[in-house]
Every structure is written in C-alpha cells, then in structure tokens.
Amino acid sequence: MPLDPAFVSNLLLVLTGFGGAFLAALWISLIIWTYRDIRARARDPLVQTLAALLVAVLNLPGVLVYLILRPPRTLEEDYQKTLEEEALLQALEDLPLCPGCERRVKDDWQVCPNCHTKLKKTCDSCGKLMELPWNICPYCGTPAAGMRRDAAASVDDALRGLKLEEETPAAEEKAE
C-alpha cells in the first residue's frame, strides 16, 4: 500500500504543530513555575525577575541553572524556623537563675544542685514552697516562721488580753 506524499506531509505538519505547541506550553509553564517558586523563596523583585528571565531565555538549561542557584528554603520555612528558635529561647529565658552561681534552676527546687544556695522555703502550715523574701504564705495565709504578725492585730490581741485580766479581778470582788 503506497503512502500518499501529501498525506505524510500533512501528518508531519500536524505532528510538528502539536510538538511545537507542547514545547511552547512547557516553556511557558516552566517560566510560570520558576516565577512562583522564586516568589516563595525571595522577597527581592529584581531576583524574581532575573530568575524568570533566566528560564525564559535558556529554557531547560535555565531551569537547571535556577535549581542550582535558588535558595534552599522558602520564606515560610525560614519563618517557621525562626519561630521555633524564638520559642526555645523564650523557654530558656523563663527558667529562673540561681542567685549564687547564675545557672538555670527549676521553679520547684528548694536548693541549687550546683552551689547549694537556698532558693525557696517551705510553709510550716501547708508545706508549699514560698519565695525567700515572702513573710506570709500566699496559699494558706500563715505568717512565715520567725516573722511578727501585723502590728494592728497584735495591739488588738494585747488589748483584748488586758480587758480580760481587768474584768476578772473586778468580777471576783463583786462576787465577794
């Protein structure tokens, strides 16, 4: 069966047209992909334009050059990494320091394990930890051992005690 040269010519023309359209679509899609990718990796508009022009001019070799030169991480990945680092630093900064050796200590430690500095004291009434300068337990309201009670309260207690002593002898005299 002989092939018609006009048919073969038309078939080759159609295949060439489809191949050219495919290559043009591939070329345009590579330019668009490169532009979107560099926008996710760099903020500088000049760098974004140059990357897209590199692929537009050199096509597939331009994509290879771009893949070699592009930044390794996206801006989002850099931002997430920065947030993680800041969270770690914040967690370290939240830990208190020992006043004796300046090392990090935990909130529930009574004594620094490194220099043996006393960090907290326990309440005699409820047993919970209190800061050293506190004169009263914030949990149960009991004054710390060795601390005076409020001056107004002690005066009232003293006056009540005096009234009771004065009333007792007077009541005994009246009873006699």
Q: At what angle are helices 60-69 and 45-58 packed, to 10 degrees? A: 150
pTM for this prediction: 0.53
Show me where the domains of the chain are located: 7-75, 93-118, 123-161
The length of the chain, given as a count of residues:
176
- pLDDT, residue 53, reads 97
In tens, the pLDDT along 115-136 reads: 999 989 888 888 898 888 888 8
- pLDDT, residue 74, reads 96
The yes-or-no verdict on residue 173 having pLDDT over 70 is no
What is d(CA 51, CA 33) in angstroms, rounded to the nearest whole number? Answer: 11
